Amino acid sequence: MKRYRRIFPVIISAGILAAALSGCSGNGGDSKQIVRIGHNQATDHPTNIALLEFEKYIEGELGDKYDIEIYPSELLGSQTDMVQLTQTGAVDFCVASNSILETFSENYTLFNLPYLFSSADAYHEAMDDPEIVDPIFESTKQAGFEAVTWIDAGTRNFYTVSVPVETPQDLKGLKIRVQQSPTNVRMMDLLGGSATPMGFGEVYTALQSKVIDGAENNEMALTSNGHGDVCKYYSYDMHQMIPDILIGNCAFMDALSEDEREIFEEGFKLINSVEREEWVKAVEVAKDKAENQQGVHFLYPDTKPFQETCKSMHTEMLESYPDLKPIYDRIQMHNEQHQTEEE
């Protein structure tokens, strides 16, 4: 088992990180290049399980040259820290929330829209469509990184410490942790809650100390991150289906040979497929644990009032970013196809 230590931003700013995260192993004659991947999830999370499969695959194919090291649980800092490290090449890959990437490229604003996808099937099909994802994934190359695959993060819903959320009115006056993006802050403003952006690693303590009244995330946050120990109401308002994104440093990717690049691309596909399979299983386990061990009450409100409240955000986004309209329209095509199938 490899040992990892937390690398603080203070160390990064002091310049010590360059030595601590040098590109090659320091074990004498071992010239393998270390490939570091950071993320903020626990070791039993589908994301980490998928990355471990990626590690096995790459080392099985290119183990004479590359040594994959995975750093879970924010060992390399917050998601924002890890994105910045990936920009500079101090870290080769990291898993970032779409909301954080919105601050690097306006194209990611699209995926953050509430009620963008009509169903999970439409969401998955759209995210597998190169005409939708390629223009967005490639939009951060000038910033030094590019998206290499998407990771299913399920459906985001509100969960609260003591107030059940059945309608948008129930959110009024509640301090709700949201991801650090303008779109999420705007969504909460419309719904009447008080948006409280903060890093994911800070949420448990903020809930426990009543700094915030609730948060919004998928079911895994209840169990893997312990939020269900504090929050007793989880409401399926289904406001967002936002992917997490695995990003890679452009200099690292460009330095790969053609054969190596093909192997890494297969590895990225493996991450996506394994994580999606594990996600389905993990959500069922999480719901069972949350309900039967943590005492969480699952609520199924009518989502139409939430949708109507947030509807204006679609028009606002298209007016602000008209270049995204062709991609938005293509997503609507997938939505309509699945609505027709359901009917």
Answer for the pair 37, 85: CB distance below 8 angstroms, yes or no: no
Q: How confident is the model at residue 28 (pLDDT cuts 50, 70, 90)?
A: very low
Cβ-based neighbours of 117, under 8 Å, separated by 6 or more? 123, 126, 241, 331, 334, 335
What residues does each domain of the chain span? 9-153+243-284, 156-241+293-342
Fold equal for 9-153+243-284 and 156-241+293-342: yes
* pLDDT > 70 in the chain, percent: 90
Distance CA 200, CA 161 (A): 17
The residue with tokens 């594990």 is 278
pTM of the entire structure? Answer: 0.88
**156-241+293-342 fold:** D-Maltodextrin-Binding Protein; domain 2 (3.40.190)
19 pLDDT band, cuts 50/70/90, is very low
Burial readout 190-206 (b: 16 or more C-beta within 10 A, e: otherwise):
bbebbbbebbbeebbeb
> How confident is the model at residue 29, as a pLDDT?
53
Question: At 42, is the pLDDT very low, low, confident or very high (cuts 50, 70, 90)?
Answer: confident
Burial 131-147 (b: 16+ CB within 10 A, else e): ebbeebbebbeebbbbb
45-68 confidence digits (pLDDT tens): 999 999 999 999 999 999 999 999
15 pLDDT band (50/70/90 cuts)? very low
Give the residue-averaged pLDDT of 278-282.
97
Mean pLDDT of 186-190: 97
Distance CA 308, CA 320 (A): 20
* Strand residue runs (E) in the chain: 33-38, 66-71, 93-97, 145-151, 156-160, 175-178, 194-197, 214-217, 233-240, 244-249, 297-299
pLDDT tens per residue across span 295-332: 999 999 999 999 999 999 999 999 999 999 999 999 99
Tell me which residue of 251, 276, 243 sits closest to 100, measured CA to CA.
243
pLDDT in tens, 134-170: 999 999 999 999 999 999 999 999 999 999 999 999 9
Map tokens 């994959």 to a residue.
Answer: 68
Separation CA 197–CA 132 (nearest Å): 28
CA dihedral (313, 336, 152, 296) positive or negative: positive
pLDDT of residue 30: 66
Instruction: Determine the average pLDDT of the residues in 197-211.
Output: 93
Report yes or no: 72 and 39 within 8 Å, Cβ to Cβ. Answer: yes
- Give the residue, 17 or 279, on which the prediction is more confident: 279
- Residue 343 pLDDT greater than 50, yes or no: no
What's the CATH class of domain 9-153+243-284? alpha beta
Instruction: Specify the DSSP element, H or E, that contains 261.
Output: helix 258-292
Portion of the chain with pLDDT greater than 90, in percent? 84
Give the DSSP per-residue string, 309-338: HHTHHHHHHHHH-GGGHHHHHHHHHHHHHH
- Say whether pLDDT at 130 is over 60: yes
- pLDDT score of 21: 57
- Average of pLDDT values for 198-202? 87
Mean pLDDT of the chain: 91
Cα atoms in the Cβ-side hemisphere of radius 13 Å centred on 151: 28
Query: Long-range contacts of range 310-318, CB-CB < 8 Å, 24 or more positions apart?
Result: 310/114, 310/115, 310/187, 310/190, 310/191, 310/239, 311/115, 312/190, 313/113, 313/114, 313/183, 313/186, 313/187, 313/190, 314/113, 314/116, 316/186, 317/109, 317/110, 317/113, 317/183
Span 86-119, pLDDT tens digits: 999 999 999 999 988 988 999 999 999 999 999 9
Tell me the two tokens of residue 243: 């992917």
The one-letter amino acid code at 47 reads T
Burial 246-264 (b: 16+ CB within 10 A, else e): bbbbbebbeebeeebeebb
